[in-house]
Every structure is written in structure tokens, then in C-alpha cells.
Amino acid sequence: MGYEFIKTEFGDGLGKIILNRPQLNILNIAMMEEINDALGTFQRNRDLKVLLFGAEGKCFSAGVDVGEHMGDMAPKMIEVFHGMFRLMDKLGAVTVASVFSSCLGGGCELAIFCDFVIAADNAKLGQPEIQVGVFPPIAAQIMPRIMGRKAAMELILSGKIITAQEALQLGLVNKVVPKEDLGTETEQFIKPYLKLSAEVLRITKKAIIKGLMDEMEPSLKVIEDIYLNELMKTNDANEGLKAFLEKRKPVWKNC
């Protein structure tokens, strides 16, 4: 199937979803619906061993479209955005993100939710949502599990952006490589998994996740409820998003 904002490929056990919404791969609802459609197709492919998320353009992804974050669109945006992670959670196959330059907000969440992240040395990762009056729900769910509570608190509550090397030290990425070598290094990283059984990979990944006794769905539902029914009903969340779109500093009322 042809898509407008992504490219997909499959061959020899390797599936690819390439973000292709020039230039910054801002994730809008239409683009995320395409990703969900592709994930649904890959989920039905029993020969899939590895699913790779890559990107064309200036960066991996600068985040979710803030204009679709507001008002009546927020529930739809959250539904479609979180749909990606629910589908990835059920996929079973090994997931890999190959990131470069800006990997921020929802784009960062998409990358770090993958089992492995290969980062170019020019990659910048972070969750700056707090600075515009919201928080990153997927990062709130998964970051403490990846890097520990205190490091996750610092990144999410400050909204600071870190280098690929800092992300490596924190355990957010698996490997940092020169930007010009990202493609070949990603291929080399993936190669061993493509020699294995797709079914055994699925069962083993399931065992690792179940061994943590860490079901995504119950915690994500709680986070969604806080996001939509507490956060998005505050003055400051709506002010922060509006200020971002109007390119001004937000005026917080602390309510």
C-alpha cells in the first residue's frame, strides 16, 4: 500500500517504517494513522523478525503536531498516538529505531519504546513537553523502567534535551555511531537477529516482558486518564500549547 507520510518495506524477515514528512517528520494524526495501518499489516506477518523505524529529511522526528494537541482534538490525537505503542506492544517482533539529529517529544517516545536504539552522534533526545504545559504520557510510562526513576524524573520534569552520548550513558540508546555510518551500522546491528527464528524471537521477547511483570495497558490507561481529564482541563496546559503556536512565552496561572 502506498502512503503519503511514511515508506514501508519488507524482505528477508526485516520490516521497515520510514518517516517521510519533510522536513522535520512532525507526527500529525494523518501520519500516525498511516503508521498504525502499517503496524497492523506487519502484525499479521509471521515472518517478521525485526521492525526498523528510520527517517528521511533533516531529523528523525521533532515531535507531535502541537496544533492537533489542543481542545477537541486532544482525545483523538492521544488515541491515535497511543495506538502506535499499543500495536508495537502486541507486535512481538524485535523493534529498532535508527535516529539522527532531533529526536524529540513524541518522536523520542517512538524511538525509546523500541527494543533497541541506534543513534547518530549528532542526535539530540528529549521530552520538552513540560515547557509548553503538558507531559509525555509514553515517556512517563516507559522511561522509569528503562533508566530508573530519578533519571527519568529529571528528564521529564525539566524537559531538557540531551546528546546521544548522554543518552547512551543513561541507557536510553544502545549504540552511538558517526552520522555518516548510521545506515551501515544499523544494518550490522540488526543482522544477527535476522538469522534467528521469528517465532522464537517473539516468545523470548514475551518472556522478558512478562518476567518484569510489567503490563503496559493498565498503567497507560491511568496515565491517559490523568492526561485528558486532569492535565488538559487546566488553564496552564492550554496556555502553554497556545503560547507555543503563537511563538511567545507562556503566562502561567498555576491552575
Pairing relationship of beta strands 94-99 and 102-104 according to DSSP bridges: unpaired
Distance between CA atoms of 140 and 231, rounded to whole angstroms?
14
- Residue 215 has what pLDDT? 84
- Tens of pLDDT, residue by residue over 168-217, are 999 999 999 999 999 999 999 999 999 999 999 999 999 999 898 888 99
Domain-wise residue ranges, the chain:
6-180
Catalytic residues: 109, 129
Share of the chain above pLDDT 90, in %: 93
Sheet holding 161-163, edge to edge: 102-104, 124-126, 161-163
pLDDT at 110 over 80: yes
- Residue 1 has what pLDDT? 66
The single-letter code of the amino acid at 3 is Y
Strand partners, 64: 27
**Residues 127 and 108: beta-carbon distance below 8 Å:** yes
Of the pLDDT bands very low, low, confident and very high (cuts 50, 70, 90), residue 70 is confident
What CATH architecture applies to the domain 6-180?
Alpha-Beta Complex (3.90)
- Residue 213 has what pLDDT? 82
φ, ψ of residue 199 to 5 degrees: the values are -70, -40
Q: Which three cell numbers stand for residue 111?
A: 524511538
pLDDT at 61 over 90: yes
- Tens of pLDDT, residue by residue over 11-30, are 999 999 999 999 999 999 99
- Residue 62 has what pLDDT? 98
Of the pLDDT bands very low, low, confident and very high (cuts 50, 70, 90), residue 235 is very high
**Residues 136 and 77: beta-carbon distance below 8 Å:** no
- Tens of pLDDT, residue by residue over 118-144, are 999 999 999 999 999 999 999 999 999
Whether residue 23 has a cis bond before it, omega within 30° of 0: yes
First to last CA, the chain: 46
- Residue 58 has what pLDDT? 98
